[in-house]
Structure 1
Amino acid sequence: MANEPNTTHGSPSWLQHSSRDPAAARKFYETVLGWTVSEMPMKDGSNYPAIVVGEAPVGGFSPMPGDGGWLAYITVDDVDTRLAKAKAAGAVIVSEAMTAPGVGRMATIADPFGGRVALIDYTKA
């Protein structure tokens, strides 16, 4: 059975970049890596700049300014359960669990070693 990143627990499934200047970051990576970035329509009527490799979106650029750099999204079987386990193991909750309509349930943690990851369950959209 093939590893499907959006349904396989523990699989990296999305990359998101945030910076103080999202448009400049997008242009930088389009130039350096030759990425195609397409506007992906969202359910709320906005667009999300998605990185497309081949024919599949694999990540994107946060349209909101921030200074987090790259954030990996890891598919999990249950965001709330995994969030509780992460907290018990010493993680700091960066963003509490929330449901993004049309995307899924997600939360962001900082592990005790300085790394940040987002946990996501796409089935809870």
Structure 2
Amino acid sequence: MPKPRHGEFMWNELMTRDDERALEFFNKVLGWTHSDWPMGDGKTPYRLVKTPGGGEHGIAGMMKMTEPEFPPQVPPHWMSYIAVDNVDQRAELAKQHGGQLVHGPMDIPNVGRFCIVCDPTGATVAFMTPQGGTA
């Protein structure tokens, strides 16, 4: 797959408390399938979502929301990731221009470095510098 360009949306993730129900829904409605990747805790799988006939490349991810990382008041949601050239620098710029840093920056082994920011209107998005950089 080609490297994402700085500023482009590069990934989407469904955060849900009932991943089995979500998988069943999207399988029935869209024909999505998935494969499981072990998470760092060794118990919770990360679901790599695939389209019918789409091969091994995933189109999105799915993750089960657990406490304390996701308190009960955080609803299930889709998180979009925007590719950036330098996640630490972009997190600082977001704060300088009225945004809030919600999480990170932190590394995801073999994936890249990311943070979650909230823009001045209250919308949340993730910035990601993928391993190998941007185009």
TM-score by length of 1: 0.83
**Structure 1 gap segments, 5+ residues each:** none
In 1, are the aligned partners of 2:48 and 2:61 still within 8 Å (CA)? yes
Find the counterpart in structure 2 of residue 9 from structure 1.
Answer: 6
Alignment-mate amino acid for residue 78 of structure 1 = N
Find the counterpart in structure 2 of residue 91 from structure 1.
Answer: 99
Find the counterpart in structure 1 of residue 127 from structure 2.
Answer: 119
Identity of aligned residues (%): 35
Alignment-mate amino acid for residue 8 of structure 1 = R
Number of residue pairs the alignment of both structures matches: 122
Alignment-mate amino acid for residue 64 of structure 2 = P
Q: C-alpha separation between the residues in 2 aligned to 1:44 and 1:21?
A: 18
CA RMSD of aligned residues (A): 2.4
TM-score by length of 2: 0.78
Q: C-alpha separation between the residues in 1 aligned to 2:85 and 2:98?
A: 20
The runs of at least 4 consecutive aligned structure 1 residues that moved more than 2 Å come to 40-47, 63-68
- For 1:1-125, what aligned pairs fall within 5 Å after superposition? 4=2, 6-40=3-37, 47-53=45-51, 54-55=54-55, 56-65=57-66, 66=70, 67-123=75-131
Deviation at 1:10, TM superposition (A): 0.9
